[in-house]
Structure 1
Amino acid sequence: MQPELIIAIDGPSGAGKSTLSKLLARELGYVNIDTGAMYRSVALAAKRRGIDPIDEKALAGLVRSVRIQFLRASEGERVLLDGEDVSGVIRTPEVSLLTSRVSACAGVRRAMVDLQRELGTRGGVVLEGRDIGTVVFPRADVKFFLSASATERGRRRYEELRAKGLMVELEQTIADVEARDAADSARECAPLVQAEDALVIDSTALSIEEVLQAMLREVRRKKESSHPESAA
């Protein structure tokens, strides 16, 4: 039996990481670990408790006190924060921007990295985020870096939010994406950096299905190169 792979998907906000990690995990029969949702949940908890996003001690304590779970439901995967379904509220623009500040806290990232490694170390997992292939699992079996222009990513996020009934402006949504890019790339702790051995996929002009098929081809290539006898 072939060993199960650890697959890392990194990239900026709005590049399609969450959607594609779920689809890829489903195709492979793997577990999808949405690391971005973990950080978003902590950011939401900090907002609700009035914790300053620069108070590292309070944030680190918060991570240790909350419970984050992923549940597979008929309508898709759900994210629970202390038992409450927060799948929708953690995707709002306000929480998105706060997440970038909270995730820059070294104490938060250390606690999250430990948890992510614990969840994924046995393989058979797809993890997505901004530092999976560089920090969390630098020796991941397959690494992807998804990208797209800020304008295209902003348009996608705008349509997603409008579909959920949120009143947002396209120009402001694009500006929010650009601000998130700048914050993620400039932070001192685990900044957004492309792993040297990652396969880069620019999805600006590609459909979700086209990107998914490109990822599946790379995973199959990796499996066949690791076990050439299985390709015979």
Structure 2
Amino acid sequence: MNYSIAIDGPAGAGKSTIAKSIAQKLEFIYVDTGAMYRAIAFYFLRNGIKPEENQKIQECIHEINITIEYEGDVQQVILNDENVTAHLRTEEVGNMASKFATNRDVRLKLVDLQRNIASTKNVIMDGRDIGTYVLPNANLKVYLTASSTERAKRRWLELKNKGIESDINEIEQDIIQRDEQDMNREFAPLRKADDAILLDSSNMTIDEVVNEIIELYRKGLIN
């Protein structure tokens, strides 16, 4: 039997960091759905296709192939045989990924790939609609959140540590706007699954969140 853990939540809640750590500790496959959406957004940006150009998206969606590979413990995102990992963490790509994610054709393509992986491996997956749509039968579902102020602070510190100057107030406004987009999109909006466990990480360290979710996983095995 394969075991699956779904972690949902808004932008900047720490989902990816938490999921990667848990995957290493439990020896699960980490499926970075956000990176997949960023890769598609990067493809469209590179080819000059806008989120509202549905016809163009339909015409080229079948030409896009995205896979996840690992070099040691480091995830690599491969877009049509090209490693695009280094291009995916910019603010522009992140904002565009949220907009393209509202497109039904984009989402269905990626959901099929994500479900196929989960059908053959023990996986942990994070995103906006994993527990509600992608893996509705996941063994453990967690809705991870934090205040917009705390999420902006984390992102500001991340950029600062990389030597990138930014405005924390602008970052928070971008986060609030992205939350609004994700929660109100027509197809598979961001929301807490009825059977998901709410975990607010505003006043928790990364290790505390990781340990809490692993404990929930172990309790699930016993039950």
Structure 2: how far apart are the matches of 1:110 and 1:71? 21
Amino acid at match of 1:14: G
1:93 CA displacement: 1.0
Alpha-carbon offset, residue 74 of structure 1: 4.2
Counterpart residue number, 1:52: 50
Q: Contact between 2:2 and 2:119, CA under 8 Å: does it hold in 1?
A: no
Partner SS state of residue 145, structure 1: strand
CA offset at residue 119 of structure 1?
1.2
Give the secondary-structure state (helix, strand or coil) at the position aligned to 2:52.
coil
% of aligned pairs identical? 38
**Runs of 4+ in structure 1 over 3 Å off:** 60-63
2:131 pairs, out of 111, 130, 133, with 133
In structure 1, distance between residues paired with 2:196 and 2:80: 35
TM-fit CA distance, 1:10:
0.4
What is the one-letter code of the residue matched to 1:89? H
Counterpart of 1:174? 172
2:97 counterpart residue number? 99
Structure 1 residue 222, shift from structure 2 partner? 0.5
TM value normalised by structure 1:
0.91
| Structure 1 gap segments, 5+ residues each | 226-232
Query: Does 1:17 find its partner at 2:41?
Result: no
User: 1:51-88 CA deviation, whole Å, 9 max, x = no partner?
Assistant: 01112232244332122222222472222223333323
RMSD: 1.4
Unpaired runs of 5+ residues, structure 2, are none
The farther-off stretch of 113-122 and 11-20 is: 113-122
- How far apart in 2 are the matches of 1:41 and 1:131? 18
Matching residue of 1:37: 35
Encode CA deviations 1:76-127: one digit per residue, 9 max, x unaligned: 2222223333323211111111111100001111111111111112340111
- The equivalent residue for 1:221 is 219
Q: Give yes or no for contact 1:63–1:108 (8 Å, CA) kept in 2.
A: yes
Correspondence 1:199 to 2:214: no
SS in 1 for 2:85: coil
- The answer to whether residue 153 in structure 2 is matched with residue 155 in structure 1 is yes
| Segment of structure 1 superposing worse, 122-131 or 83-92 | 83-92
Task: Please give the secondary structure, in 2, of the residue aligned with 1:69.
Answer: strand
- How many residue pairs match? The answer is 223
Tell whether the 8 Å contact from 2:8 to 2:144 is kept in structure 1 after alignment: yes
